[in-house]
Homo-oligomer: A and B are copies of this chain.
Amino acid sequence: MNTYTKVTPEIVSELSTIVGNNNLISDFDRMENYGHDETSKEEYGHMPEVVVMPQSCEQVAQVMRLATRYHIPVTPRGAGSGLSGGAIPLFGGIVLSVEKMNKVLEIDEKNLTVTAEAGIITNELNNQVIEHKLFFAGYPMSLETCFLGGNIAENAGGGRAVKYGVTGRYVLGLEIVTPDGRIVNLGGKVTKDVSGYDLKQLYIGSEGTLGIITKATIKLLGLPTAKADLLVPFKTAEEAIAVVSVIMTKGIVPTSIEFMDRTSLQMSCNYLNETLPLEKVGAMLLIELDGSEEKQVEADMISVGDLCEANGAMEVYIAEDKNTQERIWSVRRNIAEALKVYSPVQSLEDIVVPIGSIPLVLPKLTMLSEKYGVTIPCYGHAGDGNLHATIVKNPESTMEHWHEIEPMILRELYAFIVTELGGKISGEHGIGIKRREFLREVISDTEYDLFCALKKAFDPQMIMNPGKIIRIQ
């Protein structure tokens, strides 16, 4: 077991010299927000010893050099909207928040790129590039709060990945600070590159365990000029989910196919004070299509609508105006939050399976729900095979019972997803602390050994966000 140096007042003072007094927090109360993310604070939270908010890459590098010198763990933090504990300072030490590095540095219309600092809010970036009729295809559900750097560190997926792929596809260049405080620029503005190992891709999704992302150059696309959203209710969740693979193998590539079961819909509507026609509805699909040609989008919309109707849809609602589209998407985006308000004791899952196996997931969830006496509302990016099954504690059972059954349910679910269906335990939320022990159980010894070798090669002192993805030995 690694033992780290405690952050003394002298070290705090050194840090303050680097980042400035206004960009450092060391009193307990004000640090509280930096001790958890969107996972359960009680279960995963841990307080930092000090929080720094550098204003430049050079300051980040100086902090890392200090941390290396003293052997202090450093946890990089974006908006804290993560769902696997990636930003939690498991061993105390320094939380390095990029919140003050939040500028768009360049929008390059000649190369269709935007370069921005890691701390910019995703939607802020979107708003700035949309003015140039350009568009960043990443679309995490937390886009109103999450930071670009966090999206990249987690390789966020989201609502448009069916057509556009996940965040990583759009990252052309990264500025990284290594654990020992060196600054390295990877990639650039080129769209193809095989000039050596693809380190850029390695940092994407590495959850801040190999270095800190301080800046990124993102590939933009021309803003689609036509868009349509279909909201399609089905009597049962099974019917709704079965349509997903039908659509996905028909040659049309929707922008999104989101699945929401009855409980998820109801909770989100309650939370938002929104009304949707839910009578007799077991689940809904939210299907988005976009493109540069209105006629094409319309034709695709009709084809998809017909497919749904031929496969049990009760109705096909079309949302063509922006306002209605935003209302529906808001229902979708707020499900996680709504379910949390409904029952804070829960486990928000992120399983992903091959699209052909999606229909096999729901019966398993029903079985687990009955076997363990819990509710498991389910929603998510069905077009990617990525479902956010959320295991919710029965309000009538004790916390002790919950702590006993939660890992049992997860083990049974993960074994099924991985061994039976060839799926993975996380499609977009990451491993962090929350899934670390479970990951170890479902991957091979060789893969795990390679993970450890990689971590050791890039962070030999084990000070860079330690305890995430893998245990530190």
Interface centre among A113, A427, A451 (most CB of B within 10 A): A427
Q: Which chain B residues border A424 with CB–CB below 8 Å? A: 188, 190, 193, 195
Expressed in whole angstroms, the minimum distance between the Cβ of A229 and any Cβ of chain B is: 21
Expressed in whole angstroms, the minimum distance between the Cβ of A290 and any Cβ of chain B is: 13
Q: Which chain B residues border A155 with CB–CB below 8 Å? A: 194, 198
Q: Does A67 contact B (CB under 8 A)?
A: no
Are B189 and A354 interface neighbours, CB within 8 A?
Answer: yes
From 428 to 473 in chain A, residues with beta carbon under 8 angstroms from any chain B beta carbon are: 428-431, 435, 439, 442-444, 446-447, 450-451, 453-458, 469-470
Q: Which chain B residues border A109 with CB–CB below 8 Å? A: 249
Q: Which residue of B lies closest to A448 (CB)?
A: B196
Q: Does A390 contact B (CB under 8 A)?
A: no
Q: Which of A13-21, A117-125, A179-187 contacts B (4 or more CB under 8 A)?
A: A179-187
Are A190 and B423 interface neighbours, CB within 8 A?
Answer: yes
Q: Which of A72-80, A202-210, A314-322 contacts B (4 or more CB under 8 A)?
A: A202-210
Q: Does A334 contact B (CB under 8 A)?
A: no
CA of A293 to CA of B446, assembled, Å: 46
CA of A249 to CA of B219, assembled, Å: 12
Q: Which chain B residues border A112 with CB–CB below 8 Å? A: 248-249, 355
Q: Does A371 contact B (CB under 8 A)?
A: no
CA of A195 to CA of B356, assembled, Å: 20
Q: Does A161 contact B (CB under 8 A)?
A: yes
CA of A250 to CA of B188, assembled, Å: 22
Q: Does A292 contact B (CB under 8 A)?
A: yes
Q: Which residue of B lies closest to A353 (CB)?
A: B190
Are A426 and B190 interface neighbours, CB within 8 A?
Answer: no
Q: Does A108 contact B (CB under 8 A)?
A: yes
Are A191 and B439 interface neighbours, CB within 8 A?
Answer: no
Identify 17 residue pairs between A and B in the complex whose beta-carbon atoms are under 8 Å apart, listed by A's number: A110-B356, A112-B249, A185-B444, A186-B447, A190-B354, A190-B423, A192-B384, A192-B427, A193-B352, A194-B427, A194-B428, A195-B442, A198-B202, A199-B447, A199-B450, A201-B202, A222-B249
